[in-house]
Amino acid sequence: MHPWTLLLALLPALVVAQDDGTINGPTSSASAAGYSCDPNTCKLPTCNCASTSPPGGLSPSEVPQFIVFTADDAVQSYTLDAVNQFLAQRKNPNGCQPKMTYFTSLNYTNYTLVTDWYVAGNEIADHTMTHVGSPPADEINGNLIALNALAGIPMEAIKGFRAPYLNYTPETLQLLKQAEFTYDSSSSASIPVTDPGTDAYWPYTLDNGMANDCLAVEGLCKGQPKLPGFWEIPMYAYFDDRGVNGPHLMDPWLDTANGASTVNDTATLVYMKNTFTAHYTGNRQPIGLYTHPIHVSKTYPGVVVSQSTIDMINAFLDWAQEQQNVWIVSNEQLLAWVQNPVPVSQLGNLDALKCLTPQVEATLQICNGIPQNEAGLLSHCDFPDFPFYTCYGCPSVEPTPENPNPPQQVPTGQNARYRLPANCSTPFWDPIAGDCICTSSTCAFTDDSRPIGVSRTGLTRVAFGTHPDFVVDMYSRMVPI
């Protein structure tokens, strides 16, 4: 048994999911937005106007239908089990297992699982350190530093942010821009795509301000805040029979449908399919499954989840994947396509959608985020509030926003673990030996994706790729305090 599976029994009873992400009606309107953008001057890949039309001038028939899969809060074995019951058995049209975005807050998080999840190809993003809405700078900075120091996530790879409770302000967005994040995904698209006034925009940059949440967040819209090159990826709601008055955003399976008093999985599946169809037969704006995994966990003590609900979510994904050109993706993958929009016949050439496996000898004992290589090499950090495992050395005290990277406690007869350097990438770095098993020009990844096209055949397969350098300074992208 992998040692981190023991953590479940050690977690305190106060660990609960955060019930955020509920909306009750429209959060914006065209008049409140006061939004204006000139597509002749705002051009990809660095600028994109808020628009319901596909980017790059593509027609909807040339556009993939993206389903963005995200999870929020702590990363533990039970949360990954919850995600895997929906994704592990699936393949995208190129034969790759879908990837997702995990907006990670660090209380009760097992750092080794963060490392493993990232090395497996998933996106790790920022959800503040202790799950606070309208976060101060140290909450954002603390997450960056701790994820880098204790999970070995390159700071350059942490591109996205979601505000806890979706509670953000213009100042939050400004802090993220200053810290060199690529995108935020906290705003709601709360009007159906079939409504002429829909706010279901494709991801856009804030060169001309926000166009979502203008009725909900003070100080947004009417051209503010202007943050050139910083992206907003709206969260797209589902709608029941009440239309604009029946939105469902995060964990829609927890909501009652159509004004009923009890949850009905059959009714939920109907409105999820209907909303998907409206996107798919329209301008193919992305749609999302935004989850708090604890609500669908079958392995966390004390949480009772309906098997009917699990089956319903899988039935929705089964049905969606029966449609042509449907892809389950992370926010990072979605944004890579938006910045470089290509028709579905060329998706096989988009590196972000490929399944690239780091080539590391299976018998090598190296603490690198690949379970077969790191077995037996993890350190157990036995803190009373939330114990965790890491391969980067236990801190002497629990990390906090004020002290996110405490000095290591080094056991007698051992050496301190080494932090990820700028000239190596996570799967090739051994923090015990302080050794990179390759250079950036020789780190090999096997591409297991299959050729795709209109008929899913006929495109050239790329066999190997090289991993880019992660050249960042630990404190160079911190939010000013």
* DSSP output for 350-418: -GGGS-EEE---TT----SS-HHHHTT-PEEE--SS--EEESS--BSS---SSSSSPPB---TT--PPP
Q: According to the model, what pLDDT value does residue 4 have? A: 41
Indicate the SS3 state at residue 420. Answer: coil
Q: According to the model, what pLDDT value does residue 422 have? A: 83
Indicate the SS3 state at residue 28. Answer: coil
> Which residue type, as a one-letter code, is found at position 174?
Q
Cβ neighbours of residue 13 closer than 8 Å, sequence gap 6 or more? 302
Q: According to the model, what pLDDT value does residue 35 have? A: 97
Q: How far apart are CA 192 and CA 309, in angstroms?
A: 24
> Which residue type, as a one-letter code, is found at position 212?
N
DSSP state for residue 166 in the 8-state scheme: G
Phi-psi category of residue 108: left, alpha or beta, with phi > 0 → left and psi -120 to 50 → alpha: left
Q: According to the model, what pLDDT value does residue 19 have? A: 46
Contact 418, 367 (CB under 8 A): no
Q: How far apart are CA 333 and CA 385, in angstroms?
A: 35
Q: According to the model, what pLDDT value does residue 142 have? A: 94
How big is the chain by its Cα radius of gyration, in Å? 22
Q: According to the model, what pLDDT value does residue 475 have? A: 40
List domains and CATH numbers for the chain: 3-356 (3.20.20.370)
Q: How far apart are CA 94 and CA 358, in angstroms?
A: 18
Closest to 381 (Cα-Cα) out of 10, 1, 2: 10
Kindly report the number of other CB atoms within 10 A of residue 438's CB atom: 18
Contact 44, 341 (CB under 8 A): yes
∠ Cα 56 58 60 (to 5°) = 135
* Mean pLDDT per 10-residue section of the chain, whose length is 481 residues: 42 40 91 96 98 97 98 96 97 96 95 97 97 94 95 96 97 96 98 97 98 96 98 98 97 96 97 98 98 94 90 98 97 98 93 93 92 93 94 96 95 93 91 87 81 41 30 44 51
Q: How far apart are CA 258 and CA 247, in angstroms?
A: 10
Indicate the SS3 state at residue 184. Answer: strand
Q: How far apart are CA 287 and CA 273, in angstroms?
A: 11
Which pTM value belongs to this model? Answer: 0.91
∠ Cα 350 160 226 (to 5°) = 105
> Which residue type, as a one-letter code, is found at position 330?
S
Q: According to the model, what pLDDT value does residue 449 have? A: 87
> Which residue type, as a one-letter code, is found at position 414?
Q
Q: According to the model, what pLDDT value does residue 429 have? A: 93
Report how far apart, in Å, the C-alpha atoms of 459 and of each of 92, 162, 391 are.
16, 36, 40
Kindly report the number of other CB atoms within 10 A of residue 178's CB atom: 16
Q: According to the model, what pLDDT value does residue 477 have? A: 53
Contact 141, 479 (CB under 8 A): yes
Q: Where do we find the tokens 């965790």?
A: 388
Question: Which helix (H) or strand (E) covers residue 78, if one does?
Answer: helix 77-87
Closest to 228 (Cα-Cα) out of 48, 35, 56: 48
Report how far apart, in Å, the C-alpha atoms of 426 and of each of 148, 182, 282 are.
10, 20, 40
Q: According to the model, what pLDDT value does residue 300 have? A: 87
Q: How far apart are CA 255 and CA 99, in angstroms?
A: 26
DSSP state for residue 191 in the 8-state scheme: S
Q: According to the model, what pLDDT value does residue 479 have? A: 54
Q: Where do we find the tokens 């890949």?
A: 45
Six-digit token string for 242: 């009440």
DSSP state for residue 130 in the 8-state scheme: S
Q: According to the model, what pLDDT value does residue 6 have? A: 42
Closest to 157 (Cα-Cα) out of 112, 117, 110: 117
Contact 245, 257 (CB under 8 A): no
